[in-house]
Structure 1
């Protein structure tokens, strides 16, 4: 009887942890989506040109050994002229392999009028990829934890 009670407590804690972890990721996804919506509401638009692709190996962690499948990622470097007339250049925060953009390609740039250095390419990945990843992971993990909790509740 004692072992069954301990096992039941452990399952409850694991279920609670999954729901809490999923809820945290879901909240982070919603916050990131709110940041994107806020940016879009205040953003000015300008035409820009991809002037270069900055290739980087994005390895996180100290002392991490290079794996065979690790490939460099291309970040577009974009030049645009905001309303103040001063040409600006920025590196987009979203990179990919294969590259999503080519050198010389025309893109629409979104920027804040009060700080043109805060600019992004008007594209799905730049605006919505992180909110979608965090929100999706959170929704799946919290959903699994909730289904497991409901199944445990019905069983008892």
Structure 2
């Protein structure tokens, strides 16, 4: 009797873990799809021009993890780009994607995407600026939802042991 209770509790715990993995993965997949839609929408309306990296804005990247102080306070370079919009106005923006080592150098020419109705909403025309977050969220979501679903399917058809 005691063994049977443990088996039932173990199965229930596994079901909740599998359900949690599928739910977590599905949530991340949805966020990845939403971010992909935002990038696609931005690309559909964006004007293209070129700009120049005028500066690298170094900021501290504060991780909330339990890594050492040295790792959690590393400095990350965000490119500051200046470009001229179609109406001849000069605009300046800091890209949302930073890295260490820097992905760009001061004085480097880069492609710029911006919305004509709001040129302050501009991005560097590059993979990281447009697709990094959708790929990270979608990839993590696919991994968790896929593994959770596979485990659920494999363990579903197993016969239950009799006591």
TM-score interval w.r.t. the shorter chain? over 0.9
Give, in whole Å, the separation in 2 of the partners of 1:65 and 1:59: 11
Deviation at 1:65, TM superposition (A): 8.2
Give, in whole Å, the separation in 2 of the partners of 1:14 and 1:60: 27
Deviation at 1:69, TM superposition (A): 3.0
Superposition map of 1:5-20 within 5 A = 5-20=8-23
The two structures have a TM-score, normalised by structure 2, of 0.90
Root-mean-square deviation (CA, aligned residues, Å) is 1.4
For 2:158, the equivalent position in structure 1 comes to 155
Deviation at 1:2, TM superposition (A): 1.4
User: Which residue of the other structure, out of 77, 80, 83, is the alignment partner of 1:80?
Assistant: 83
Shift in CA distance, 44/26, structure 1 to aligned 2, threshold 3 Å: same
Structure 1: gaps (5+ residues): none
Q: Deviations over 1:17-36 (max 9, x none)?
A: 10010000011001000100
Superposition misfits of 4+ residues, deviation over 3 angstroms: none
Match of 2:99, SS state, is coil
User: Which residue of the other structure, out of 69, 72, 90, is the alignment partner of 2:71?
Assistant: 69
For 1:139, the equivalent position in structure 2 comes to 142
Structure 2: gaps (5+ residues): none
Q: Deviations over 1:84-105 (max 9, x none)?
A: 2110100000000111000000
For 1:99, the equivalent position in structure 2 comes to 102
Bigger radius of gyration, 1 or 2? Answer: 2
For 1:50, the equivalent position in structure 2 comes to 53
Match of 1:98, SS state, is coil
Give, in whole Å, the separation in 1 of the partners of 2:134 and 2:33: 6
Match of 2:16, SS state, is helix
- Number of aligned pairs? 154
